[in-house]
Homo-oligomer: A and B are copies of this chain.
């Protein structure tokens, strides 16, 4: 009824950007793209912004190839993994023709993986795929880069055996330093180490949801507190690398996938703390293969904390009625 398809497609893509923070709002998506562009201005590396846009367009477009549901496409549910693939590839790999080919392939594949994950974790288990497809797809691309000479690595690794950290060294931190970290915790969801980008993202959240904004900020605070308490690597904490997954967990478990209430707040707090622990754990686990965790700590924690949403009876320690082998 008078809608023009190209305009629509752009709206879906912008919603896809917003859905990285669970916001089905094109204006939120615009704020997020500005956050990404601001970081490019700051670093001088525009490949991440170009990659973000390409990833968004290709992943949303690929949804048509695989006959995905129209409603999901319009909600932007096929764009949020693709935009993250599009930022991650030029962040960790050196720009070049084969890198751009890989980026386009990765964005398209992320849409297929989204449907694959939805079949397993949503249809069978009742939880969201969320950024799981981004994590799996981009892990494959990053691991493959070590094996392929035409995909030189810009800033990952090198692979090394994990060593126990012995000095934490948070002797003193000025309040303004803490504020910068709190913003970076939010910006790193888009792999941006820029505090101003974090502020732009918060503005984008405010456009759509005040509860989600509050959850993001509280998640950032809890992550900073816990990472200092546990004694995480100060350089990583300052870069916001201990905060981005907990921020997502706080929003997902406190506001988006569970109905906010007193018990859910305690539950989401536990989930957020657990995400900080999993961040440390996956940093150790992936050290020997030299790839980043991406949002895997969030995905794992969110799955574990949203799976038990109905009353469940664990398997009794006795044979089930359909046990039939050898009888």
B-binding residues in A (CB < 8 A)? 19, 22-24, 65-69, 71-72, 75, 77-78, 98, 101-102, 105, 108-109, 112-130, 139-153, 157-168, 229-233, 256-259, 261-264, 266-267, 270-271, 273-274, 277-285, 287-290, 303-320, 322-327
A278 to B109 Cα, complex, angstroms: 12
On whether the beta carbons of B309 and A323 are closer than 8 Å, the reply is yes
Chosen A-B contacts, 28 in total, with CB atoms closer than 8 Å, are A24-B317, A66-B325, A68-B312, A69-B313, A71-B313, A72-B312, A72-B313, A98-B231, A112-B305, A115-B312, A116-B304, A116-B307, A122-B315, A124-B124, A128-B317, A143-B280, A146-B162, A146-B165, A147-B233, A147-B283, A148-B230, A149-B167, A149-B168, A158-B161, A256-B317, A257-B319, A257-B320, A259-B327
Task: Select one of B66, B67, B259, B263 contacting A319, CB under 8 A.
Answer: B259
Which residues on B sit within 8 Å (CB–CB) of A306?
323
Which residues on B sit within 8 Å (CB–CB) of A77?
314, 316-317
When C-beta atoms are compared, the residue in chain B nearest to A105 turns out to be B273
Within the complex, the shortest CB–CB distance from A17 to chain B, in Å, comes to 13
Determine which residue in A123, A142, A151, A303 has the highest number of CB atoms from chain B within 10 A of its CB, and name it: A123
A314 to B313 Cα, complex, angstroms: 26
Which residues on B sit within 8 Å (CB–CB) of A273?
105
On whether the beta carbons of A143 and B282 are closer than 8 Å, the reply is yes
Which residues on B sit within 8 Å (CB–CB) of A22?
317
Which residues on B sit within 8 Å (CB–CB) of A102?
230, 277
A112 and B280 in contact (CB under 8 A), knowing A72-B313, A259-B323?
no
Which residues on B sit within 8 Å (CB–CB) of A150?
168, 229-231
Which residues on B sit within 8 Å (CB–CB) of A229?
98, 101, 150
On whether the beta carbons of B278 and A144 are closer than 8 Å, the reply is yes
When C-beta atoms are compared, the residue in chain B nearest to A142 turns out to be B281
Which residues on B sit within 8 Å (CB–CB) of A256?
317-319
A277 to B145 Cα, complex, angstroms: 9
A162 to B287 Cα, complex, angstroms: 11
On whether the beta carbons of B161 and A118 are closer than 8 Å, the reply is no
**What 8 new A-B contacts, CB under 8 Å, besides A78-B314, A158-B163, A162-B290?**
A105-B270, A112-B267, A114-B314, A118-B313, A126-B320, A149-B230, A160-B161, A257-B320
